[in-house]
Amino acid sequence: MLRKWLKDTHWPLVFAVAGLMLIGWLFVYSASIHDSGNYAAKQPFWILMGLAVLLSVPFLSYRTFLNVSYLLYSISLFLLVWVLAAGEPHLGAQRWITLGPLSFQPSEFAKLATVLALANYLGSHNPFEKKGRIMLTALGIALVPMLLTAKQPDLGSAIVFLPMIGGLLFLWGIQYRLMIATAVAGLISAPLFWGVLKAYQRKRILVFLNPNLDPLGAGYTAVQSKIAVGSGGLFGKGYLAGTQSQLQFVPEHHTDFIFCVIGEEWGYFGTLVLLLFFGFLFKSAFQIMENTTDLKAKFLIVGSVAVIFTQVFVNVGMTFGLLPITGITLPLVSYGGSSLITTCLSLGLILSIYKERSIF
């Protein structure tokens, strides 16, 4: 059994995940060494839980999750409505549900549940049959949790649903011109949503366009983050030696802005190593996709990778000032249980696809 388990596990993906978690723990410790939250002591528990989920899910089979995908999707919508009605407020947003000692973000679970529902739905329909109706239904499946997430407000997590549905529809077989037309229509209509945004969200966008607009207010975090990354140079100031992070000039540096801590202490070289780990993770996932003939499995991999890639892209982009600050964490690296466990569950499903490749 041990030999079979070793053979049926895609170890490059596991090692990539473990490497990212290790880097994450090192810098959660560095970022929070002077904090009272005791984050560095809590993170190993979440890492162990994540690894347990990652390696256990293949024994349950991804097909089991697909079979109950609509139920999981319905539960995720219920949780998103619940958090709007009775969620735990934090920093002006209502994103958390607290049950005794346990707190979690329903939006993290909703991303995975939506990927499962879309993979099941699109994988069950031929792209040449009633394409318009199927596409609109798929868009509806993605838009409902997206709008509920944006209502919290959590614009960063809400944005993740767009590349998710875009990637899945592209794989499903939607025509290029239709995707381009939809994207252009979205860009044209974007100004119409300006009035829907919260005041602080509009301020973040204005600060992104002009960082010096409010350097001591809304632009403070963006300015300090860029200073931290820039001051790291090629090889950084040394582990635990970053002034911007150790003196806590950068807020939320153990969660949203942990990348700038890595950039300051390990420099360009350290951030490159981190991004190479992510690249290796994505490469491993696509290698698994190439070796499966199950269409639903392919959808599941593309949707999961789209979610993780978007979060990495947005988090790194806002750290460098290339994107507006959205409050989105760095998967497998930032402190927290909701994101880490859900990400490991997604990757566990990909490992399950690899495990069952021989029976397709």
- pLDDT of 359 reads 42
Residue-wise pLDDT for 208-230, tens only, equals 666 666 666 656 777 888 888 88
Sign of the CA dihedral running 330, 335, 339, 345? positive
Q: Rounded CA gap, 187 and 170, in Å?
A: 19
Q: Are 142 and 165 in contact (CB under 8 A)?
A: yes
Residue-wise pLDDT for 141-154, tens only, equals 999 999 999 888 78
Q: Examine the pLDDT at 314 and tell me if it is beyond 90.
A: yes
Q: Rounded CA gap, 71 and 140, in Å?
A: 16
Q: Rounded CA gap, 203 and 245, in Å?
A: 24
Between residues 301 and 214, the one the model is more confident about = 301
Region 235-262: mean pLDDT is 85
Q: Which residue has the tokens 């490059």?
A: 12
Residue-wise pLDDT for 283-299, tens only, equals 999 999 998 989 999 99
- pLDDT of 186 reads 66
Q: Are 228 and 241 in contact (CB under 8 A)?
A: no
Residue-wise pLDDT for 31-68, tens only, equals 888 776 678 888 999 999 999 999 999 999 999 999 99
Domain ranges of the chain: 2-359
- Looking from the CA of 266 toward its CB, the CA atoms found within 13 Å total 17
Q: Are 201 and 153 in contact (CB under 8 A)?
A: yes
- pLDDT of 358 reads 47
- pLDDT of 88 reads 72
User: For residue 300, what are its two tokens?
Assistant: 């599941």
Q: Rounded CA gap, 203 and 344, in Å?
A: 34
- pLDDT of 272 reads 95
